[in-house]
Amino acid sequence: MTTTNQGPKRLYLMQVATMRAEVPVPAYLIQTGDGINVLIDTGFPASMIGTTTGSSGWSFVINESDHIINQLAALGLKPSDINYLICTHFDVDHAGSHDLFPDAELIVQRQHYEVAKGGHKRFARNREHWDAPNLHYRLVDGDTELLPGIELIETSGHVPGHQSVLVRLPETGPVLLTIDAAPSQGTLDVEKRKKGPMDMDEAGVIASTRKLVDLAKREGVTLIVCGHDANQWQNDLKKAPEFYV
């Protein structure tokens, strides 16, 4: 386990919106012992604050205080304090406010960036927010250590080049943020895993689930945080301003 000063010191789970039936839309903040701030995802754009009913009929709610800028402000941070922004993927609930972080280095899987940049319809409607000309991207290929104790895990299937994150905390131990590779605890059952309505590739979804479950076992992961699990979020997790150490 990495417990040096350079490694992660705190992990915050922030709720940046709520979808129907109390389903959380999270973003995450990692702070290291040497003062680096790593943000994971940015939630919806500020223009969508309020209640929106999607084309599929379900609605989501974004309170003013939910927006990523206000979540960070509540922790005493400005956008310019963020050194790295890990982009798990460019869906609007994950990448809707990337354009507010021009001072950060944005880290994305090359495959995902190229599919989105190529004009894929799914990511085009949110393009102004992840493809703003003032943003600085670093493209990575597959599993990559971003910093000591922060590892990016390539988990395609939900979308090409989706990435999950492993965070090694000094007291909690290794924490796996599955993001949308495993949106709920039920989806961690590899034998029963199926493609969800928003998943693009079923074989990829199953392979990535297996990869995460194997990694959790191999690395002795003590906490798996699923991407959009209402029950886990409400009952089993510490949310900002509380944090994991």
Half-sphere exposure of 241 (CA within 13 A, CB side): 8
Nearer to Zn ion, 93 or 131 (CB): 93
CB closer to Zn ion, 131 vs 229: 229
Name the minimum Å distance from CB 23 to Zn ion: 9
Give me the least distance between CB of 91 and Zn ion, in Å please.
Answer: 6
Handedness of CA 217, 222, 228, 232 (dihedral sign): positive
**Contacts with Zn ion, residue ranges (CB under 5 A):** 93, 180
Q: Which residue is nearest to Zn ion (CB)?
A: 180
Of 171 and 202, which has the nearer Cβ to Zn ion?
Answer: 202
Distances (CA, A) of 19 to 27, 62, 100, 189: 14, 9, 23, 23
* Rounded-to-10 torsion of CA 14, 237, 60, 98: 30
What's the min distance (Å) between Cβ of 171 and Zn ion? 28
Residue count (the chain)? 245
CB of 30 to Zn ion, least distance (A): 19
Task: Give ∠ CA 209-213-219 in degrees, rounded to 5.
Answer: 140
Q: Closer to Zn ion by CB, 66 or 93: give it.
A: 93
Give least dist CB 124 to Zn ion, A. 17
Positive or negative, the CA dihedral 144, 173, 76, 233 is positive
Stated as kind and residue range, the H or E segment containing 13 is strand 8-19
Report the nearest approach of Zn ion to the CB of residue 93 (Å): 5
- For Zn ion, which is the closer residue by CB, 36 or 181? 181
Residues 83, 88, 91: CA angle, nearest 5 degrees: 120
Our CB check for Zn ion shows the closer of 93 and 154 to be: 93
